[in-house]
Chain A
Amino acid sequence: MSDQIVQIMDWAGILCILAGALLSFIAGIGLVRFPDLLSRMHAASKPQVLGLLLVLVGIGFRLLPAEATGIFSLGTLLLVGLFQVVTVPVAGHIVARVGYRTGRIRHDLVSTDELAERLATRRSAPDTSEDTVS
């Protein structure tokens, strides 16, 4: 590859990694300052998906022109991104569910709580609960 293209790819890669690091920094601030579990999860999931994908794209831009093995490391990067995108929503769902069920979220900060309404109807009418809520 010509020198100019390599330089452009370097700059694109470093800008992607800078954006990922910036997202990590913002998530750190959010982790410390936000008041309860759900809002902290909202802050912490940004570098886990978007930041990580940006960093992987940046690594790809930097590694691709360097060596003959650059194409193999692209496969590893793709696998890392795939695993993260598949697993982060599952982990977030389970943590939020356990947090809600064990009463570790602040209900005064939630604007609408449809799950509470459904649980209330299920509690008051347990006979029809299998049809309406499952």
Chain B
Amino acid sequence: MNTLWTVIAVLLGVAALLGTIRLLLGPSILDRALSVDALLAFAVTGLGAYAAFNRDPTVLPTLLVLSLLGFVGSVSVAKFVARRTQEDDDDEQIVLPVVENTVEGEGKKS
């Protein structure tokens, strides 16, 4: 059983490493927000494995906080990106990204 716990720890460590690589490489800010979201999921999994290993329910409220933090983080980053590109070009009309390969205005409905 101890072997299985070690395997879990190694898998989560490698996953966090790969997520950090994407966080550093990520071409756009949305990729970075996405990888932060995934890293939070890995952190929740790791804290949960810790709680299960020690039979210790102390960290469970932390899981609650982390699961809400991921949502707030990625949504606020996405909204920030949308608003910034809208201010960049004052163009309210929706343009196809295929036709014009530039950043364009976010729709009014958001």
Q: Which residues of A contact B (CB under 8 A)?
A: 10-11, 13-14, 17-18, 20-22, 24-25, 27-29, 31-32, 37, 40-41, 44, 47-48, 51-52, 55-56, 58-59, 61-63, 66-67, 69-70, 72-73, 76-77, 79-80, 83-84, 87-88, 90-91, 94-95, 97-105, 107, 116, 119-120, 122-123
Contact = CB atoms under 8 A, between A and B. Distances in A.
A63 to B, nearest CB: 6
Contacts of A59: 48, 51-52, 60
Interface of B: 1, 4-5, 7-8, 11-12, 14-19, 21-22, 25, 28, 30-31, 33-35, 37-38, 41-42, 44-45, 48-49, 51-53, 55, 57, 60-61, 63-64, 67-68, 70-71, 74-75, 78-79, 81-82, 85, 93-98, 101-107, 110
Given A69-B57, A80-B60, A24 B45 contact: yes
Given A51-B45, A62-B51, A103-B97, 9 more contacts: A14-B1, A25-B11, A29-B18, A59-B60, A63-B51, A83-B64, A87-B67, A87-B70, A88-B70
B19 A31 contact: yes
A80 B63 contact: yes
Contacts of B35: 31, 40, 44
Contacts of B19: 27-28, 31
A76 B57 CA distance: 9
Contact of A31 (B18, B98, B105): B18
Contact of B78 (A22, A47, A98): A98
A122 B34 contact: no
Contacts of B49: 17, 21, 55, 58
9 contacts: A31-B34, A40-B31, A58-B52, A76-B57, A95-B75, A95-B78, A98-B82, A102-B85, A119-B96
Contact of A13 (B52, B67, B105): B52
Contacts of B101: 103
